[in-house]
Structures are given as structure tokens and as C-alpha cells.
Structure 1
Amino acid sequence: MTPQLPVPPPLRRLAAAELRRLSAPAGVRYACYALPAALVLYAAVAYLTHDTDTAGAWQAAESAHRRYLAAATARGIPTAQVPPPATFFDDPRYLFTKAVFVDLRAVLSGLAVAALVLGIRAGGADWSSRVLLTLAAAEPRRPRLFAVRGALVTACGALAALLAAVALVPLLAGAGYGRGSLDGIDGTFWRVLALITLRGALLVGLIGLLGYCLGMLTRGTALALGITLAYLVAAERLLQDYVPSLTEFHLSGITFAVLNERLLMNVDRTQCLGQAACDAMQQGTTGTQAFTALAVHLLPLAAAAYWRFTRRDLG
């Protein structure tokens, strides 16, 4: 008698089951609950740490300028080489049209790290518990299972980033209205803000997919997290030392380039934080180049993970 092969579930039921599995860990649920509160807290800090006392800031700048001038005179430095008081001025206001991009970049970068960890867990946790054996028995078409899981990780990461950005911008606008300025809002500003938001959502989703593929390839969360940590900590330094021309294509440089509004607007391009980010700024790395570099990271890893999952034994 011929044994009956298992009947694969419909695609919609498979996707629903995998979505429940993805959101089942308590840490994932708590993170989803905490995200709105974290956004409100972030905006509150932006509000409370700024004020409109520009007169006091100018007095502090002039005082700093006098101290610097006195020290320069004592060292014999010509007064013509002393920078003007404006150099020491730190605007205490929340200038929305400038600061919103910095804050959005910080929040989306944090969400990218969270998506990377979520992807690693989604791809690697079920191997150590051997749940994948049961799942592969219920869904013998491994390519479909691999694709559905990866698509859900990507979609959830991108949706979370999009919703976070849409919620954060009005909160930061409130900080600008109450403790700063909303000057400079025009059509170009909104177009650039919308583009950066969409780029950020796509970036977070793809980095989540990168983590998922790494987890599936290594078949464990500990090894995948170790590889990720080693890459984030050591790879940038190695690129700086041995292949400096590629530093901008480290994951941190890619993230900065994708979320960098300064190439799209006529604003200062000198401020940056981190070697990879500064290289991306100085080289003028565009969003297209950054996503191409991300694809170079992602596609070989995805191909290797897909091949191992579909062609090799699950044990």
C-alpha cells in the first residue's frame, strides 16, 4: 500500500500560522507594546532638552569666545586666527526641519538592529528546539516555507518602521512648535522626508531578512548572533585598515547613506558620526548605491541559506 503524503496547508493558512509563530515570543510582544511608549518618551526628551532662550545661548557663546581669545593671546596666537563668537553658539531650539532627520535616522537605525535580531531568532531558534522537523513534515514544500517565513520577517520589520516614523514625525513637530521652530517646511522638505521614511522602512525590512537568512544558514541563534557581533565590531576596523575604499559599504555606512537627507537637500554635509558614516558622507554615497551594497551582503547569504534548507538534511 502506497503511503499517503502529507497535504500542504493553503498558503494563507501557512502565512497565518507563521505570523503567529513569529509574534509568539514574549520578548517580541513586549517590544511591540513598548515601541509607542518609547516614541513618546523620545519626543518628550527632545521637547524637554530644548528651549527658546537664544539670548542666553548667545551670552554663553560670547563668554566662551572671550575665554578662548584670552587663552589664545596668552599663547601668542594672532587674534585674527580666533574664530568668531558665532562658532561657539549652540542653538537651544528644536529646529524641526533639521533635527527631525537626525532623530528619524536614530530611531530607524535602532529598529534596524531590532529587526536584525528578530530575523536571526526567526531563522535560527526553531533549529535548536527541532521545531523545524515538525514544520517541514507539515509543509513538505520547503521553498514555500522558506519564502513565507522570510517574507513575513521583511514585511513586519518594514511595517513597524513605517508606523514608527509616521507616529514620530508629528510628535517631533510638537517639540518644534513648543520649543523651537517650524521654519523651512515646504514641498521639498516633505518630499525628502517621505522618501527617507520609505527608504528607512525598506532598509529595516531587508536587514530583518538578512538576519533571517543568517539564522537559517547557521541553524542556530547563538552562532548567528556571534557572527553578527563580530561583523559589526571588527569588520569596520578591518576595512579601514586594509580596504579603506570599501568602508562606506559596511552595514553602518549603508544605513547612514540610506537615511542621509543631505544629498537630497541643500544643507550642511560635514556633520557625521562614525568612520563608515563619515566615509559615506564624504564619498556622496547615494541611496541606490547603498541598497546595491546591501544586496551584495544579502543575496549570497540568502542563496546559501535557501540551498542548505531545501537541499540538505534537516537533522
Structure 2
Amino acid sequence: MTTTLLAKPSSPPLGRLVRAELHRVLSPKPIRYGLYALPVILLALAVSAFAGHHTDVAAAWRAAEAAYRTYAKEAATRPAGSVESLSPREFFDDPRYLMAKASFVDLRAVLSALSLAALVLGVLSGGADWSSRVMLTLTAAEPRRTRLFLTRGLLVTAVATGVAALTSVLFVPLLLGVAHFKGSLDGTDGQYWTVLAVVGARGAVLVGLMALLGYALAMLTRRTATALGIALLYLVASARVVQEYAPGLAAHQLSGITFAVLNERLLMETDRTTCFGEAACLAMREGTTATTAFLALAVHLIPVVAAAWWRFARRDVG
């Protein structure tokens, strides 16, 4: 009597798995088109900054003095002490692109947008193969589910981090060109460049972790639409709920975390009074550090990743 032994399916070599998963992460059309469009978007932002600034400081001072005279005439008609005493300086808006200040604002805006895009990238990478039932084939080819989960998750994180770092490398020289022709490079000393590099590095890590969060959320729900819906509901509804019932937690929402990570003012000892948005102002007033922000992000991230791994590694994928 002949006995037939069924061999366990073997796992592919790690190098081949990494190459296959990297191709799978980058293959969706929205992701590829987004990567192709990114340099064009950065160039368009630089052109917009170039067109929106000029070097006619004298004209700006004349406008400030005219605004001051109008204010002074109106103030003269009111009781003494009822209006604040100002000077033309308070009405002056420097028309130049001031690299030492404006570059941080522009880089923060770009990296904040990339963090949202990375969340969507992670959701697409983690959820697409469930709706198409490709995940059944993948788990059959790679029976070591933990290795498959970690490989794709780390690749999604690495791709998002690398794109964010490359974005900073490409965007800063464009802003330098704007400042050279339409602004000023005053204040761009060694401290400025050090802080700019730190902010860029923080932003790259933030973008990578946001991609990992989106990936884990999609792997947990096993549906792209559900994961996107949860992310959208959190981003839209949580701000209102926190503002109404727990305003002290505003700095620990994703918006507050993003601002704190990309906030250069705690490093450069600049004015902390100018801010926009409740989460941003709270982070500015309380001095939320990047370390605290990353710990808050870990509170969001770790439970979702752990739950996604447990469900994928321990539960049926059918």
C-alpha cells in the first residue's frame, strides 16, 4: 500500500516577497498618478508663491501708512482710551517671501497634506486585495501570515516615509529660488537649517506612520470603503466632539499631533502667539513637544495595528 504525504506549502524567499509586495503597493493607478503629479504640484506651489510676492517694500509701507491714517481718523472720533494705540508698523505687511519664516509654513502645509494622502495610501494598500479576493491567493502562496502582514506594512511605511523625505528635498530648493528672486534669505543661518532638517525628518516619520495607520485600519476591517469611512468620520466628527466635551484633548487629535510634530517655533524661540485653529493654538500655547505628539500618535496606532495583526494571523481569511 502506498502512502502519499502532502507537503506543507513553502514560503517564498523574503527577497522575492518584498519585490512582489512593493510592486503591489505601487501598482494601483491612484497611487502611481499621485506620485507622478507630486513634482508638478510642488512646482505649482512654488510658482504660486513666486507670483504672490514682490520686493516693492516702499509701496507696502505707503499702504501701511494710509491704513494707519484711516485708523487714526476713526480712532479720533471715539472716547479716549477706547481704542488701542497703534503705529504704521502694525499695518505693514511685508510683500517679500521671507525664507526664514515662510518656508516653515509652506513645508508644514505640504507635509500635512501628505500625511492625509499617506493615510489613504495605507487604506488602499491594506484593503484592495480583500475586495478582489486576492488575499486568499496571497495567503496560500505565503502561509506565514505574520511575515506577510509585516512585510507589506513596513513597505507601505517605508514608501510613504521616502516620498515625504524626497518631497522636502525637492520643495526647499524651489522655495530658495522664490526667496532669492522675490524675497529675502535673512535669518537662514545654521540654526535655521538645522531646525528645517529636523522638521523635515519629523514630517517624514509622521507621514510613514500615518500610512501604517491606514494600512492597519484596512487590514482590520478588510474593506477599503469601511476603512476610508472610519478615517473620514474620525477626522470630521472627532474635532467637534473633542471641542464640545474634552477640549483638553485637542492637541492629541491627529490634527493637533500633526501641528506639534511640524511646529518649528519651540525649536527656534520665535513668537508663539500667532496660530490658526483650536488644535494648533492649543499646541502652541501649551508647547506640545514632538515627543508628546508621537506618543499620542502611538496611542492611536498601536491598538489598531495589534488588532489587525491578530485578526489576520489568527482568524480565517475566507
Using structure 2 for the length normalisation, give the TM-score.
Answer: 0.97
Q: Do 2:257 and 2:294's aligned partners in 1 also have CA atoms closer than 8 Å?
A: yes
Q: Per-residue deviation at 1:70?
A: 2.0
How far, CA to CA, are the matches of 2:21 and 2:136 in structure 1?
Answer: 15
For the pair 1:67 / 2:75, whether they are aligned, the reply is no
**Which whole-Å CA distance do the structure 2 matches of 1:58 and 1:133 have between them?**
68
Deviation at 1:71, TM superposition (A): 2.2
Post-superposition, which runs of at least 4 consecutive aligned residues in structure 1 deviate over 3 A? 75-80
Does residue 1:201 correspond to 2:204, yes or no? yes
> TM-score normalised to the size of structure 1?
0.97
Q: Work out the CA distance in 2 between the residues paired with 1:58 and 1:218.
A: 58
> Does the alignment pair 1:244 with 2:247?
yes
- Hey, what's the Cα distance between the residues in 2 that align with 1:207 and 1:79? 49
1:4 Cα offset (Å):
2.3
Q: Deviations over 1:239-278 (max 9, x none)?
A: 1211111110000000000000000002111122221111
Structure-to-structure mapping, 1:101-116, within 5 angstroms: 101-116=104-119
Greater alpha carbon shift after TM alignment, 213-222 vs 238-247: 238-247
**What is the correspondence of 1:29-40 to structure 2 with a 5 Å cutoff?**
29-40=32-43
One-letter code aligned to 2:268: M
Q: Per-residue displacement from partner, 1:62-120 (whole Å, max 9, x unpaired)? A: 11112222222334354872322111111100000111111100010111111000001
Does structure 2 retain, via aligned residues, the 8 Å contact 1:162–1:197?
yes
Count how many residue pairs are aligned between Structure 1 and Structure 2. 315
**Alpha-carbon offset, residue 153 of structure 1:** 0.6
Q: Secondary structure at the match of 1:132?
A: helix
1:230 corresponds to: 233
Q: Indicate which of 229, 243, 265 corresponds to 2:268.
A: 265
* Residues 204-262 of structure 1: per-residue CA shift (max 9 Å, x gap): 00000000000101111111111111111111121121111111000000000000000
Cα root mean square deviation, aligned:
1.2
The aligned residue for residue 184 of structure 1 is 187
2:12 and 2:307 map into 1 onto residues whose CA distance is 26
CA distance in 1 between partners of 2:63 and 2:197 (Å): 37
Change (3 A) 1:122 1:80: closer
Structure 2: runs of 5 or more not aligned: none
Contact 1:69–1:79, Cα closer than 8 Å, also in 2:
no
Q: 2 CA distance for matches of 1:120 and 1:75? A: 58
Query: 1:310 matched to which residue of 2?
Result: 313
Contact 2:124 2:218 survives alignment (8 Å): yes
CA contact (8 A) 1:248 1:276 kept: yes
8 Å CA contact 2:75, 2:83 repeated in 1: no
Who is 1:46 aligned against? 49
Q: Kindly indicate whether residue 134 of structure 2 is the aligned counterpart of residue 134 of structure 1.
A: no
Does the CA contact (< 8 Å) of 1:150 and 1:212 recur in 2?
A: yes
Contact 2:164 2:207 in 1 (8 A): yes
Are positions 1:57 and 2:60 aligned together? yes
Contact 1:100 1:172 in 2 (8 A): yes
Q: Could you list the runs of 5+ residues in structure 1 that have no partner in the other structure?
A: none
Between stretches 232-241 and 89-98, larger displacement belongs to: 232-241
User: What percent of counterpart residues are identical?
Assistant: 59
Query: For residues 134 and 86 of structure 2, what CA distance do their matches in structure 1 show?
Result: 65
Conserved in 2, the CA contact under 8 Å of 1:142 and 1:310?
yes
CA distance in structure 2 between the partners assigned to 1:167 and 1:296 by the alignment: 32
Look up the equivalent residue of 2:190 and give its one-letter code: G
Amino acid at match of 2:262: L
